[in-house]
């Protein structure tokens, strides 16, 4: 089993937090946005350590809660639930298939955003639900899923992952 954090993972996550909070207006065309922090959780599940993804999701949720935006604990609770579901999904399904990764990414972002918005609306401001949050939810899910192959390619370079070498001849 791998470690929960590494220096490269911490630096990538810190960079993505900075981009997510500083460049959020630029990354949100038409009401939706590309959520880079969901993508780092998905990358962790697909390529680094699916066994530890619930703990990593909770760590990202705690950090999001500390940086503000919602009532403390909403992001942590949403990412804890979806991190556990992601753990069971990635454990049973084929992680190497790009289509499976796209479907899992879509469902993870959709469920995480739904839980976050629902908990936020229920605990922070009752009666805030309107058609705008549905459009924002769907656009965020679509944008994040569409951007995921580019993100996975970038993290492949960032972590210097190499494809498994196949040995065709044992003796020469």
Residue ranges in the chain whose pLDDT is less than 50? 1
Q: Is 172 a domain residue? A: no
Residue 116 has a pLDDT of 85
Q: At what angle do helices 7-22 and 131-158 cross, to 10 degrees?
A: 140
Q: Is 109 a domain residue? A: yes
- Kindly report, residue by residue over 145-163, the tens digit of the pLDDT: 998 898 888 888 877 766 5
Query: What range does the domain containing 69 cover?
Result: 7-158
Residue 107 has a pLDDT of 92
pTM score of the predicted model: 0.81
Q: Is 166 a domain residue? A: no
CATH code: domain of residue 59: 1.10.1760.20
Residue 138 has a pLDDT of 87
Number of domains in the chain: 1
Q: Is 169 a domain residue? A: no
Q: Is 31 a domain residue? A: yes
Q: Is 167 a domain residue? A: no
In angstroms, the CA 51 to CA 55 distance is 9
Residue 1 has a pLDDT of 44
Q: Is 170 a domain residue? A: no
Q: Is 65 a domain residue? A: yes
């Amino acid at each position: 089993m791998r470690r929960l954090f590494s220096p490269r993972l911490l630096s990538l996550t810190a960079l993505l937090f900075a981009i997510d909070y500083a460049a959020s207006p630029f990354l949100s065309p038409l009401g939706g946005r590309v959520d880079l922090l969901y993508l780092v959780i998905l990358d962790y599940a697909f390529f680094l350590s699916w066994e530890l993804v619930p703990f990593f999701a909770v760590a990202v949720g705690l950090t999001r809660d500390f940086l503000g935006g919602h009532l403390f604990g909403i992001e942590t609770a949403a990412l804890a639930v979806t991190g556990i579901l992601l753990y069971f999904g990635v454990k049973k399904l084929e992680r190497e298939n790009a289509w499976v990764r796209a479907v899992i990414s879509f469902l993870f972002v959709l469920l995480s955003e739904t839980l976050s918005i629902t908990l936020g609306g229920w605990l922070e401001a009752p009666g805030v639900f309107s058609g705008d949050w549905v459009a924002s939810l769907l656009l965020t899910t679509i944008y994040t899923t569409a951007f995921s192959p580019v993100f996975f390619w970038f993290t492949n370079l960032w972590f210097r992952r190499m494809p498994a070498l196949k040995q065709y001849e044992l003796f020469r």
